[in-house]
Structure 1
Amino acid sequence: MRTLLNKKIPLQKYRRKTCRICGSSKLYPFLSLGSMPIPNGFLEKSDLHKSELHYPLKVCVCESCFLVQLKHVIPAEIMFKNYLYIPSTSQTMVTHFQKFADEIIKKAGIHKITFVVDIGSNDGTLLSILKKKGKRVLGIDPAENLAAVANTRGIKTMNAYFNSNTAEKVLRQYGKADVITATNVIAHIDNLHNVIAGIKALLQTNGLFIIEAPYLIDLLDNNEFDTIYHEHLSYLSIRPLIKLFDQYDLRIIDIKKQSIHGGSVRIFISHKESNHSVHPRVEKCIAEEKLKKLHLRSTYNEFARRVKVIKRDLVHFLKRIKKDGRTIIGYGASAKGNVLLNYCEISTDIINYIVDSTPYKHGKYTPGTHIPIYPETKIKNETPDYTVLFSWNFAKEIIEKNKKYRERGGQFIITIPYLKIV
């Protein structure tokens, strides 16, 4: 494998010395994935000769509240001004949001929902479903390209970061929200206190704040190290969140596990003074986290050990089949795929190209490893011997979509939670 030669150029970033939830300085580092470019920083062909900015990926756990978090933070503007992950390109995600919209309405019960605010609303996929159900909706997203797409689709979207100031603007223009949603957003936020203060101000007395995020237990159990990257500043579990919400007189009233993204949790939060009751699932989740020993260093050290084994086994296997003359491509130009490629130092000497369903990514190249990205149709016209499934969280959908490829003798390589050929 060739050595990745791009120069590591320092840029504005800072190293956290205290926990972003409780302020403790007891941060125990347990895993380093090295330095790499921002995984969603796809390149144009004209960028390939330029030096790329690399940032460290080190993970630690707070030994006071047990929040797992990145050691280094880079400016959000670098990651989110133009964002290329779009849920509407995946039928799995569209179906997921359709079911989520139904649950939002059901969970509200007797409390009538008229106004829904979605933080990190992306292209408006969730809000478009709720709008069709007769709800008044507002999206808030910092990505200029996605806010423009959503507004074009008729989903009113503010191009902004959500914080207490944004909440005040929404209050003045629209009034309080009956429901505030944030799917795969909270883990991206450095100043959580400013955001939760905004939620507190914007939410109706009996309103619901609903977040969805990858769950730490699933990340650890399934060896999902490739979901660790710069925009994911925190890796969420229930006990740290209880401490966070308690500071703003908010409480978790229910938790539902989801299979999406390799294992997520949907968390329902309300004002303490609301008349929502707390579901027994909350205590059950707390008990499970204690049973999983999320408070012990040994849990995280063992995870780090397994990550190194996965890297060793994958690199060895790919080198061997490449030496045997096999052709290898990738499926899914995902952020998680770019983490794996950079951590394992896999580039065009191993992977010929990657196919992806997102039109915005076609013709671009992967950050750090410079692998070209093509439309999914390319795999239908060619039959590479092996296809590494970087978007393993959509494995079922992708494999079903490519039955003919497998019938022609092609095989998929799944890397998480362990190396598997299908």
Structure 2
Amino acid sequence: MCGSADLVGVVDLGATPPCELFLTAEQLDQPELTYPLHLRVCTGCWLAQIPPLITPEETFTEYAYFASYSGSWVEHARRFVDAAVERLKPSFVVEVASNDGYLLQHVVERGIRCLGIEPSANVGQAAKDKGVPTLTAFLTPETGASVRDGNGPADLVVANNVYAHIPDVIGFTQGLRALVADDGWVSIEVQHLLTLVELNQYDTIYHEHFQYYTVASAQRALASGGLTLVDVELLPTHGGSIRLWARPSGTPSARVLDVLAREKAAGLHDLSGYAGFAERVARVRRDLLRFLITAAEEGKTVAGYGAPGKGNTLLNHCGIRPDLLAYTVDRNPYKHGRFTPGTRIPIAPPERIAQDRPDYVLVLPWNLREELTAQLSYVHEWGGRLVFPIPHLEVV
């Protein structure tokens, strides 16, 4: 972001395949490419980052993640739309990385003109099937200008869980600025580095995520493309996220200043806040492996729940194979019959758990704990227990 090459290592997770490249049965006898997964922080602008070793085109041309399979995430989007429409009264809304229409469907229901910009054709088609107008494209300054020329400026531009996925932060931010009206708003949700470090959420480090933001580094990133951070909200989503409100001009609110002060006190505006993080990550690995090995030696069965990208970071870093985790299940039919990248654990439909009645269910999307605890309440019927690996091993 700032051009400095003065980067300091935070945690090295070895080398893993891209987290969303699920394998078909035919690919099991083929080699897999792996890429280093080493988080570093820049001492020039304090942006935490990994090198852009894979391109967005490799990841997002066809994508395995469909946001609407999480009911709590769809509800989160609905609440956001309700509040934003009430407060801002937009006449034109654009969402960047609009996925399968999980958010814009609520805008369509209100009769407000909108457009999704989604690079993954297969995911974008699901949005079109819901009646959400969708452009298949990556956001660049040129794309932003073209959309503005054809549709007019947007009163509200939304970019949820995409700001960390962009190797060209400056160009992407310039694209946001091109889309938004001079008196409009840009809303960005991204995981907060503060909670990632404090709660050992290292499994959200993967090759799709090139950056890991504090409010301070996000403020600098927005400014690089012509936007001013004017407000921030702390959210519980994804284990702890920030909702950044930016405009072409404005003044940071008291909430921005409060969060900046919290980050500084935690040592994330220098190197001190990263000390000990790598050792805490190693402890998560040791504790989980110890649990799985003990369960295997005692003849207990363990199945997984979910096949999220973050789960593949955890499985690969821990070296977990089918001898310790027989299979995992997922609600997304795209993943059924496929295998997790690197660790090659089979993925089945969710009904498999009720059929097999495992002793333990390892919950990989731990960030959806409340939602999944309710979904998996039936596991208690046969005395099964849920296992949460992050922020520390917990069997409930």
The two structures have a TM-score, normalised by structure 1, of: 0.91
Contact 1:58 1:72 in 2 (8 A): no
Counterparts in 2 of 1:23-172, with a 5 A limit?
Answer: 23-108=3-88, 112-172=89-149
Contact 2:177 2:225 in 1 (8 A): yes
Count of residue pairs brought into register by the alignment: 396
Runs of 4+ off more than 3 Å? none
The whole-number CA distance in structure 2 between the counterparts of 1:83 and 1:249 is: 30
Equivalent residue, structure 2, for 1:17: none
Counterpart of 2:265 (choices 291, 301, 306) is 291
SS at match of 2:111: coil
Give the alignment's Cα RMSD to 1 decimal. 1.2
Equivalent residue, structure 2, for 1:282: 256
**1:115 positional shift:** 0.6
SS at match of 2:208: coil
Deviates more, 1:240-249 or 1:376-385: 240-249
Deviations 1:180-212 (A, max 9, x none): 000000000010111111222221111001000
Partner amino acid, structure 2, of 1:196: T
The whole-number CA distance in structure 2 between the counterparts of 1:169 and 1:294 is: 38
**1:277 positional shift:** 5.8
The whole-number CA distance in structure 2 between the counterparts of 1:389 and 1:202 is: 39
Counterpart of 1:194 (choices 159, 167, 171) is 171
The whole-number CA distance in structure 2 between the counterparts of 1:91 and 1:242 is: 31
Partner amino acid, structure 2, of 1:134: G
Structure 1 unaligned residues grouped into runs of 5+: 1-20
Partner amino acid, structure 2, of 1:143: S
Deviates more, 1:89-98 or 1:145-154: 145-154
SS at match of 1:261: helix
The whole-number CA distance in structure 1 between the counterparts of 2:383 and 2:363 is: 16
The whole-number CA distance in structure 2 between the counterparts of 1:72 and 1:120 is: 19
Counterpart of 1:221 (choices 177, 195, 198) is 198
SS at match of 1:29: strand
Aligned in 2, Cα 1:277/1:31: closer, same or farther, shift over 3 Å?
closer
**1:151 positional shift:** 1.4
Structure 2 unaligned residues grouped into runs of 5+: none
Counterpart of 2:287 (choices 289, 313, 318) is 313
Equivalent residue, structure 1, for 2:345: 371
Equivalent residue, structure 2, for 1:388: 362
Contact 2:35 2:53 in 1 (8 A): no
Aligned in 2, Cα 1:107/1:234: closer, same or farther, shift over 3 Å?
farther
SS at match of 2:283: helix
Deviations 1:74-94 (A, max 9, x none): 111111111111111111111
The whole-number CA distance in structure 2 between the counterparts of 1:380 and 1:24 is: 53
**1:72 positional shift:** 4.3
Counterpart of 2:223 (choices 223, 246, 249) is 246
The whole-number CA distance in structure 2 between the counterparts of 1:107 and 1:280 is: 19
The two structures have a TM-score, normalised by structure 2, of: 0.97
For the pair 1:337 / 2:311, whether they are aligned, the reply is yes
Give identity over the alignment, percent. 38
The whole-number CA distance in structure 2 between the counterparts of 1:375 and 1:166 is: 38
**1:250 positional shift:** 2.0
SS at match of 1:131: helix
Equivalent residue, structure 2, for 1:232: 209
The whole-number CA distance in structure 2 between the counterparts of 1:321 and 1:198 is: 51
